[in-house]
Every structure is written in C-alpha cells, then in structure tokens.
C-alpha cells in the first residue's frame, strides 16, 4: 500500500519566536535592567535604554475554547498592538508599552471573568492535567478540582500577601503529566485497588513479557486462566501505580469508590535559598466528591491558611516545615499522622529520623 | 442523545464562582462543533459515576510521524458517537509562548475547521494542545498547520517538545538566551522529535537562572539552568534605598542566605562571592540593587523525571559551568554521547536518569567521556562497598 | 555501503512482519539488528535512520504506542485492538 507521492511539508519545527515579539521587547532583548511589581498581576520591566514594557497577567482555566482565545486576541489588539503570551502555569500575559492601557485592560478582563494576579507572593494558577475530560488513566478529575480549589483561593491569586511564592499542582494519576512532585502543595489522584484483569481480551491486546516487565514491584506473574495464557497479580505486592495499565489496556484500575486524592506538601523547584525538593505526603486519601470536591478544597485551604499565618517572610512551604519540624506541621494543621506517612518503598530509610534532633 | 440538549446538572455547579470555568469554555465551543455536546454528556456521566470513560490511545497519527497525536476513544461510543474518536494534537509552541493576535487567530481558524474548538493553552510539556478530533481530520489539519508555519510536537519515545522560560525577552536575570537555545535545539533535532528513536521519552528544558521558572530540574532529562561565575553585581545606593523603604536587610536578606556569606552593617552590604552558591535569594529580594554577575553561562544537569517507572528523580549536576557562547556546541556534543549510550543500554521505558541509577554514575561518566568532579555530589559516598576495577 | 537504504528499509519491513504478534520492535531494535547483520563498517546509525524514514513515509509500517513507541504493520484504526 505505497502512498502516492504528494508533496507534504514536514519537519519545519516551531515558528521562530522573534516574529511574535513586541517591538519594545525585540529592541531591548537581553538588555533588561530591573523590574517592578506595580500591583498584583502587573509587572513593569525597565531596560538599560529606559524603555518600559508592562505585563498584565490574568488567570485562565487552561482548557480554552477558540472563542475565548479570540477574545484574548481582541483585547491584545485593542490594548497592546496584538502582543501576548502564555506562562508556564497557564496564565495569559498581555504585553503593553502604554501604561495608560493597564487599567482599562484589567477592567475588561475582570468583566469577562478573568481575574488578574498570580505574580510575586500570590498563588499562581494550578498546573494540571486532563482528568475525566480526556484521559483513560485518571483516578480523579483535574479541571473540576482546580476550579473548585481556585474558587476558594481566588483572593490569594489577586493579592500578594503570602510569606513567599506558593505553587500548587495537580495530576490525576501517578504518571504525573503535571509533574507535581516538586510543588508547595500537590494534589494527586491515586488508586487503591489492584488491576481487575480482563482475562478474555488480555492475550489479544497485550504482550505478556512486556506486561510482566512493566511492574516495578514484580507483582505480575504469568498464569493460565480457563486454559488461556494470561497473568495474575500478587495483591500484597501491588502498590496501585498503574504502570501495567499503561502498557496493557486489559489491566484497568479504575474504581469509583476506591479512587481518590492524596495531598503532598513542601516541594519546590527554585534554587532560591534551599535546594529544590520533593513534596512529601500530608494526606494519604480523600474520596472523589464531584462536582465540588469539598474535602480537597477544605484540606488545601487549611494548609494554605496555616502556612500564611505561621511562616516567616520569604519562607516557602517546605522551608517553613523544615524550620518548625513535621510534628508541628501535623499539629498546626490538625492533619492526622498515620502509618502511610512512613515510607516503606525502596530506600525508605532516607526519610527516617536518624538523630535525636527533636523539637519539643 | 446528540440532538437533545444535554443535561449537565453536576457540571453546571462548576460554572459558579470567581475562577474562570472550563465548563463554560466547553459550552462556548458548542457553537464551533456539536461534538462538545457529547463531551459534556460523557463528562457529566463521569461526574455521576466517579469514573472516567476514555479508552487507551492506540494507533493514530499523521503519515511518517511517530508522535504529536494522542489517540483517544470513548468507551461509550454508542451513547456518545461524536466523541467516539476524540484525539489530541500537540502543536509545537513558539519559544517562550509568545504570540501575535494574528497567529492565535490562524490557529483558531484551523482548529475550528478540523476539530472541537477546544484547546489547552498549554499542555504541561509546553505544546499547544488541540483537544479532540477524528482520525480523518488529522492529515488535513496537519497540512493547514504546516502551511501556516506550525508543526507537531512530540509524544512517545522521542525527544519531547523542549520548552524555555522568557529569558532575555523579558527578564534581567537570564544568564543565556533560553528562547533561542530552545528554538535552535528543537530545529536541530526534528527527526528525534517526530520519529521516536529512543527507549523512552527525553525532555530538554531551558531556564535562564536558578529560579528555574520552567521547573527544568524537576522535569527535564537534560536541565539547562543559567548561572554565573564572577561576582554578583551590586549597587550600594539601591541597597540603601531598599533598607530605607523598610526591607530588613539583616534578617530577610542576609539571614536567609543559605551559606551566610553576606554581611550588613546597617550601611553597607558585603558579599563573600566565593562562598555564594548562586541561589538567587538576595537578587530576588532586591532586584534593583543586585544582579547576577557578568561572566554568565549555565549548569547542565541530567536525569529528572516523575515517578513512573522506578520513582521520581531530580536532575543532578553533569557540567558545573558552560560559558553562554559555548553552550550550543557543548550540548550537541554531550547529548549525542548520552543518546548513544542510552540507545545501547537503556531498556524499554527506562529514562536516562533511571539508567544512570542502574549502571552507576561512575560508569555513565566513563561512557560519555566526562571526568568526575566534586560539584556533582553533595558529599562523597559514606558506604565502603566500592566496585574497584583493575586499573591498567 | 553494501546495501542501499531502500534495501535496508525492505529488510526492516520483513523483520517487523515476521515478529508481528510475537514481539514488538522499537526503532533501536531494527537499527541494532541491521548493524549486527551488515557490520559496523558497512552501515551506521544514520543509514538506519534514513531507512526507517523511508519505511514510514512509504506507509509499509506505522508507529504505534503501548507505553512506549514501537514500529508495527499498519492495522485497522480503533483503540488498542479489542
Ligand atoms: C524577574 C523576575 C521573574 C520573572 C520575569 C519570572 C517569570 C516567570 C514566569 C513568566 C513564570 C510563569 C508564571 C506563571 O504562569 O504564573 C514563572 C514561573 C515560576 N517562577 Fe518565575 N519569574 C521571576 C522570578 C522568580 C523568582 C524570584 C522565583 C523563585 C524564588 C521564581 C520561580 C518560579 C517558579 C518555581 C515558577 C514555576 C515554574 C512551574 O512550576 O511551572 N521566579 N516565572
Ligand atoms: C509514564 C509516564 C506517563 C504516561 C504513561 C503518560 C500518559 C499520558 C496520557 C495517556 C496522556 C493523555 C491525556 C489525553 O488524552 O489528553 C498524557 C497527556 C500529557 N502528558 Fe503524560 N504521561 C506520563 C508522564 C508525563 C510527564 C512526566 C509529563 C510532563 C512533565 C507529561 C506530559 C503530558 C502532557 C503535556 C500531556 C498533554 C496534556 C496535558 O498537559 O495534560 N506526561 N500523558
Ligand atoms: S496524570 Fe495520568 S490521568 Fe492525568 S492526564 Fe496524565 S496520564 Fe492521564
Ligand atoms: S498497579 Fe503497579 S504494582 Fe500493581 S500490578 Fe500494576 S504495575 Fe504492578
Ligand atoms: S528562570 Fe530566571 S531567567 Fe528565566 S524567567 Fe525565571 S527568573 Fe527569569
Ligand atoms: S545568591 Fe544566594 S548564596 Fe549567593 S549571596 Fe545571594 S542569598 Fe547568598
């Protein structure tokens, strides 16, 4: 079935960014001197030449209709010559050379329902993934939880009054497309039951050796079921990671009553002050409660508020917890400490207390 | 069914509140494409049943490419026929996610003709995500995209779409040109991006300074993070101005310096730059007074990944400092040796970081021809189980 | 070069056909097999890369994804076959 030789354009790569740069940015590229934070969501970068570029940052739900993107384009044309960008946390940023346009732009954004903020010591948008909107692997939804949590924290987006930056991320399964493992607060979908093996289709849809090799704990073994080649799972060895499901559709883990959410805290990416670190387990399980996820919302708001009240200026969540110690964190937040908080996977000992340094 | 107005009692709850609503977005896109009705219907059902209704990906794409499209199928195709196929297209974003309104309108026009009218701006790797189309639309959509100057991003066991912080475009701290580097690397490795050649995925992320705004140390197999070698640039008058405006230079700047290498006598700030670890804290606290030095470049780190398969890793130092003007050549040279080694020894679904853990950093360094240096570790080993080799 | 790139592509195609249903092959597996067959001095990775591109562009094989990217024969569109 050789295809007819049509002339196709391939491998052109992304368009060169230079043609999308605001003239002031192009002129002062690499020549910025300092920046000021004029208001929450409004930045002013000043170049060596004295030129200024103003940035207005607004929230977006990440899942955007083309209708809304065109609205952003309209606003960009009206106020800033059509120049805009998106941030690594899914906010939209308008780039202005005329300071007088900031207020009218903000007004229109607010009227359209897009809060302005997310800069400096505000909570920025939640980095998140697909959930029930578009993924087969999800232990929970993504967009609905983000919406519910940010509704409750919206004032923290539009004000910059936290001790330091606070980054929240959500991933709907352990694949962690949103790479949540280094966030101040991570919301992570988890399964709690081993895969339910579909023996009837397994030999047709999966390659058994690849499937067995996929399991990090070696829990999957070959087995013959009803005379057919299949596999079995040693349930005590299963940690519900869904690696097997990724390579084999006949191993689904989805389970409405046992799937849910775990909360992790104290990770960071930036090298500022302390080294980057992983987030650590705060709450092992909260059930899925659509449509508004009250359990998750309350848990996150509680952690944010306790942090806001107790951390010192410039202390990220993880730095604050290291200063006061984990026992105090659990005490202040009222989160119960359980056996699940103690690591028992490989090299687990690295998180055991191996000194008498205890705060009383 | 499709022609009846879908009931979305639960999802309607997510239209309330101050934060922008994705449910409103899906409803807006109904005007573009009727498939959004079925998407809403299926999502409402997920909300009722607390379980997703999508099936595994499988095999779709544009001709010749091994990535850029993620197959997605409903597990209730009779009930929701319009989302029976609902594939994602990943489109390689311009560096730094900069656009003109015209470029955005072009993308919207193409997507309205060929898909659901729903997008993610952007996916977590950085691509523009076009969410939801049928197999027949992939090739025509791709054709229009390439004619408009856009190409697909990566998926599968390939070099994934690289991404970069705004860097020199709008940040005074960028120690090298992140956006250009990202653009050049992406163009250099188009084949590796589009035709999966590796044991698993490989990510590059470019941050201009140790603040690491694209989280490269947590997410990239090769993390390129800007830094400097000489002294922090210091403007004493501006330091005094911060102090006068009420910044507690002693507690909030010097007191938070991780190496305690700064002194403030109430009038003058002194930095022992040989002990500074270039963490950015003092610069973040006083952007008008302090700036990274002038001898700029980047640290190369290797091996970060999320937990799947063997556990999460942060990148670790591979080359402590590369001057900015040598960065491109050094990365190209190094990466070809890293990829060769990984091709040869990596197992299916083994990221580079996991391979290094398995074979040992020492052996990995030997294989790619790098000398060990103490900047690579926080401390030498504390166990005596050393695999001594015969040194000829 | 002892073989043309087109020949390499055809041999890769035969290899995929023979192993279909038994083992899924990756680009790296095909490359290694060809280099083993013809010897390092005769062909190199780049030749194999070109051969794979010919193989794909001709539609004889397609890429597929099962938790990793593999090269397979084209088959009926649908989710993972059920
Ligand atoms: C000139 C100053 C800075 C500029 C222009 C800048 C720029 C940015 C931008 C545009 C983003 C995406 C933001 C968003 O979507 O909300 C971002 C994210 C981020 N920034 Fe900065 N930033 C600056 C300072 C800092 C500082 C002082 C820190 C840390 C102390 C920092 C750490 C981060 C981190 C960790 C992220 C999030 C990355 C992610 O998880 O995706 N940045 N930065
Ligand atoms: C073994 C690990 C992983 C597997 C099996 C996996 C699988 C998937 C799947 C099935 C989807 C499709 C969702 C849809 O239908 O749209 C997806 C989306 C995505 N994944 Fe992953 N993923 C993994 C890890 C990651 C990581 C670590 C990242 C990034 C740091 C990432 C980035 C993305 C992006 C950007 C998307 C597109 C949409 C989004 O942003 O949510 N993935 N992934
Ligand atoms: S995190 Fe898991 S469920 Fe969520 S989009 Fe990624 S693979 Fe799918
Ligand atoms: S869920 Fe994870 S641990 Fe359990 S059987 Fe599957 S791969 Fe193994
Ligand atoms: S990583 Fe550094 S250089 Fe890049 S945008 Fe962030 S603060 Fe600026
Ligand atoms: S950059 Fe960090 S380590 Fe260096 S002087 Fe400033 S606070 Fe101290």
From CA B7, how far away is CA B1, in angstroms rounded?
10
Nearest CA in chain A to B220: A179
pLDDT category of residue B22 using cuts at 50, 70 and 90 = very high
Nearest to B56 among A83, A136, A255 (CB): A136
Q: What is the pLDDT of residues B195-216, one digit of tens each?
A: 999 999 999 999 999 999 999 9
Q: How far lies A284's CA from each of A41, A145, A335, B189, C76, in Å? A: 34, 17, 10, 41, 42
pLDDT-derived band at B383 (thresholds 50, 70, 90) equals: confident
Q: What percent of chain B has pLDDT over 90?
A: 88
Q: What is the pLDDT of residue B225?
A: 97
Q: What separation in Å is there between the alpha carbon of A246 and the centre of ligand 2?
A: 11
Nearest-CA distance C2 → chain B (Å): 23
- Average pLDDT of chain A is 93
Euclidean distance between CA atoms A350 and A213, whole angstroms: 27
pLDDT band at B151 (very low <50, low <70, confident <90, very high): very high
Residues of chain A with Cβ-Cβ distance to C74 below 8 Å are 1
Confidence of residue B258 (pLDDT cuts 50, 70, 90): very high
Question: What residue of A is the nearest CA neighbor of B12?
Answer: A291
Range with the poorest average pLDDT among A22-26, A80-84, A257-261, B63-67: B63-67
Q: Give the whole-angstrom CA distance, residue B307 versus residue B58.
A: 23
Q: Which two tokens stand for residue A221?
A: 């073994």
What is the per-residue pLDDT for B3?
44
Q: What is residue C26's predicted lDDT score, i.e. its pLDDT?
A: 92
Ligand 4: residue of A206, A240, A248, A259 to mutate (most ligand atoms within 8 A of CB) is A240
* pLDDT of B185 strictly over 60: yes
Q: How many Å lie between the centroid of ligand 5 and the Cα of residue B12?
A: 39
Q: Does A247 sit within 8 Å of C82, measured CB to CB?
A: no
Q: Return the residue matching tokens 């079921």.
A: A225
Which pLDDT score is estimated for A358?
Answer: 67
Quick check: A207 and C66 CB within 8 A?
yes
User: pLDDT band for position A195 (50/70/90)?
Assistant: very high
Task: Measure the CA–CA gap between A169 and C4, rounded to whole angstroms.
Answer: 51
Give how far C66 is from chain A: nearest CA, Å: 5
Indicate if the alpha-carbon torsion angle A21, A27, A31, A33 is positive or negative: negative
Q: How many residues does chain A have?
A: 360
Averaged confidence pLDDT in chain B: 94
CB B155 to CB C63 under 8 A? Answer: no
Q: Which atom of ligand 6 is nearest to the CA of B260?
A: 8
Q: Cα–Cα distance between B205 and B126 in angstroms, integer?
A: 10
**Per-residue pLDDT for B392 more than 50?**
yes
pLDDT at A356: 66
Q: Is C23 in CB contact (< 8 Å) with chain B? A: no
| pLDDT recorded at residue B150 | 98
Ligand in nearest proximity to the CA of A91 = 1
Task: Looking at the complex, report in whole angstroms how far the Cα of residue C61 sits from the nearest Cα belonging to chain B.
Answer: 9
The tokens of B145 are what?
Answer: 């995209």
Reported for A346-355, long-range contacts at CB under 8 A and 24+ positions apart, including other chains, are A346/B311, A351/A280
Selecting from C53, C69, C80 the residue whose C-beta is nearest the C-beta of B196 gives: C69
At A347, is the pLDDT very low, low, confident or very high (cuts 50, 70, 90)? low
Residue C81 has pLDDT above 50, yes or no: no
Cβ of C68 and A2 within 8 Å?
no
Contact between A235 and A265 (Cβ < 8 Å) = no
Question: B58 and C78 in contact by Cβ < 8 A?
Answer: yes
Please indicate if any CB of chain B lies within 8 Å of the CB of A37.
Answer: no
Substitution site in A220, A231, A345 for ligand 4 pocket (most atoms within 8 Å of beta carbon): A220
Interface touch B309/A288, C-beta < 8 Å: no
Q: Which residue has the higher pLDDT, C22 or A20?
A: A20
Least confident of A97-106, A256-265, B357-366, C20-29: C20-29
Q: Does C40 touch chain B (CB under 8 A)?
A: no
Of 3.30.460, 1.10.10, 2.60.40, 1.10.3470, which CATH number belongs to C5-72?
1.10.10
* pLDDT confidence tier of residue A227, bands split at 50, 70 and 90: confident
A240 Cα to the center of ligand 4, angstroms? 5
Whether A228 has a pLDDT exceeding 90, the answer reads no
What is the CB < 6 Å shell around ligand 4? A 194-195, 214-215, 217, 219-220, 233, 238-244
pLDDT of residue A351 exceeding 70: no
User: Which token pair is B109?
Assistant: 């026009």
**Could you read off the pLDDT of A303-317 as tens digits, one per residue?**
999 999 999 999 999
- Which residues, in sequence order, are bridge partners of residue A281? A264
| Mean pLDDT of the region A221-243 | 91
Note whether B151 contacts A21, CB cutoff 8 Å. no
Instruction: Give the mean pLDDT of A175-199.
Output: 92
The answer to which of A141-155, A168-182, A326-340, B231-245 has the lowest mean pLDDT is A168-182
Q: What is the pLDDT of residues A45-88, one digit of tens each?
A: 999 999 999 999 999 999 999 999 999 999 999 999 999 999 99
Q: Is the CB of B88 under 6 A from ligand 2?
A: yes
Average pLDDT over residues C61-81: 75
Q: According to the model, what pLDDT value does residue A76 have?
A: 98
Per-residue pLDDT at B66: 92
At residue B52, does pLDDT exceed 50? yes
Percent of chain A with pLDDT over 70: 94
Chain A from 320 to 359: CB within 8 A of any B CB = 345-346
Using CA atoms of A259, A263, A267, A270 in order, give the dihedral in degrees to the nearest 10. 80
Strands (E), chain B: 54-55, 69-70, 73-74, 88-91, 98-100, 118-121, 128-131, 163-164, 204-207, 222-228, 233-234, 262-264, 269-271, 290-291, 296-302, 316-323
The answer to whether A1 contacts C67, with C-beta atoms less than 8 Å apart, is: no
């Amino acid at each position: 079935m050789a295809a007819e030789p049509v002339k196709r354009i391939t491998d052109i790569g992304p368009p060169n960014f230079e043609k999308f740069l605001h003239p002031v940015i192009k002129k002062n590229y690499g020549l910025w001197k300092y920046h000021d934070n004029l208001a929450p969501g409004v930045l002013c970068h000043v170049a060596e030449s004295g030129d200024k570029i103003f940035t207005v940052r607004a929230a977006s739900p990440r899942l955007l209709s083309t209708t809304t993107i065109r609205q952003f384009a309209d606003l960009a044309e009206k106020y800033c010559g059509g120049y805009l960008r998106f941030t690594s946390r899914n906010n939209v940023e308008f780039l202005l050379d005329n300071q007088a346009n900031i207020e009218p732009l903000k007004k229109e954004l607010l009227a359209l329902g897009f809060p302005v903020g997310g800069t400096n010591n505000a909570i920025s948008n939640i980095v998140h993934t697909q959930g029930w909107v578009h993924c087969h692997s999800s232990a929970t939804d993504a967009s609905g939880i983000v919406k519910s949590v940010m509704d409750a924290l919206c004032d923290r987006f539009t004000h910059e009054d936290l001790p330091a930056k606070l980054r929240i991320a959500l991933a709907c399964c352990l694949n962690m497309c949103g790479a949540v493992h280094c966030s101040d607060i991570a919301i992570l979908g988890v399964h709690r039951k081993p895969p339910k093996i579909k023996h009837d289709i397994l030999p047709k849809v999966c390659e058994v050796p690849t499937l067995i090799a996929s399991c990090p704990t070696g829990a999957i073994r070959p087995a013959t079921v009803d005379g057919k080649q299949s596999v079995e799972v040693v349930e005590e060895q299963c940690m519900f990671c869904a690696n097997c499901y990724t390579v084999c559709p006949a191993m689904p883990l989805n389970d409405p009553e046992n799937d849910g959410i775990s909360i992790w805290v104290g990770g960071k990416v930036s090298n500022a002050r302390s080294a980057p670190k992983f987030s650590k387990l705060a709450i092992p399980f909260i059930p899925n409660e659509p449509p508004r996820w009250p359990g998750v919302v309350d848990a996150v708001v509680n952690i944010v508020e306790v942090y806001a009240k107790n951390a010192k200026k410039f202390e990220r969540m993880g730095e604050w917890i290291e200063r006061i110690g984990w026992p105090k964190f659990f005490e202040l937040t009222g989160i119960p400490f359980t056996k699940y908080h103690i690591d028992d996977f490989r090299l687990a000992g690295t998180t055991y207390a191996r000194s008498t340094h205890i705060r009383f | 069914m499709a022609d009846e107005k879908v009931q979305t009692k639960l999802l309607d709850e997510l239209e309330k509140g101050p934060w922008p609503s994705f449910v409103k977005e899906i409803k807006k896109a109904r005007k573009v494409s009727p498939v959004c009705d079925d998407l809403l219907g299926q999502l409402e059902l997920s909300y009722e049943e607390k379980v997703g209704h999508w099936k595994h990906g499988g095999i779709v794409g544009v001709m010749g490419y091994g990535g850029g499209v993620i197959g997605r199928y409903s597990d209730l195709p009779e009930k929701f026929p319009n989302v029976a196929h609902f594939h994602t297209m990943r489109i390689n974003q311009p560096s730094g996610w900069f656009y003109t309104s015209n470029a955005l309108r072009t993308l919207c026009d193409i997507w309205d003709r060929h898909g659901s009218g729903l997008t993610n701006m952007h996916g977590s790797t950085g691509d523009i995500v076009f969410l939801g189309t049928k197999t027949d639309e992939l090739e025509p959509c791709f054709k229009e995209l390439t004619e408009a100057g856009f190409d697909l991003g990566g998926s599968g066991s390939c070099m994934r779409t690289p991404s970069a912080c705004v860097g020199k475009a709008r940040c005074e701290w960028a120690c090298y040109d992140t956006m250009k580097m990202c653009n050049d690397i992406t163009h250099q490795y188009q084949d590796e991006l589009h035709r999966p050649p590796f044991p698993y995925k490989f990510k590059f992320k470019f941050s201009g300074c140790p603040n690491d705004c694209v989280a490269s140390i947590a997410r990239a197999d090769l993390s390129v993070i800007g830094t400097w070698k000489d002294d922090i640039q210091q403007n004493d008058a501006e330091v005094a101005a911060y102090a006068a405006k009420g910044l507690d230079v002693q507690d909030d700047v010097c007191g938070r310096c991780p190496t305690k290498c700064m002194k403030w006598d109430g009038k003058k700030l002194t930095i022992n730059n040989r002990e500074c670890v270039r963490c950015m804290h003092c610069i973040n606290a006083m952007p008008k007074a302090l700036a990274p030095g002038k001898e700029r470049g980047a640290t190369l780190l290797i091996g970060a990944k999320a937990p799947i398969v063997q556990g999460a890793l942060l990148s670790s130092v591979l080359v402590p400092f590369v001057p900015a003007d040598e960065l491109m050549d050094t990365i190209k040279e190094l990466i070809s040796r890293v990829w060769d080694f990984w091709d040869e020894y990596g197992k299916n679904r083994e990221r580079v970081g996991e391979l290094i853990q398995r074979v040992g950093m020492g052996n990995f360094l030997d294989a790619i021809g790098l000398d060990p240096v103490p900047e690579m570790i926080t401390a030498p080993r504390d166990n005596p189980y050393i695999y001594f080799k015969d040194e000829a | 070069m002892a073989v043309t790139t087109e020949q390499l592509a055809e041999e890769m195609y035969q290899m995929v056909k023979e192993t279909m249903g038994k083992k899924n092959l990756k680009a790296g597996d095909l490359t290694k097999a060809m280099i083993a067959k013809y010897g390092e001095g005769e062909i190199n990775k780049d030749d194999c890369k070109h051969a794979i591109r010919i193989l794909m562009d001709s539609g004889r094989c397609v890429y597929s994804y099962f938790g990793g990217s593999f090269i397979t024969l084209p088959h009926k569109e649908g989710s993972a076959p059920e």
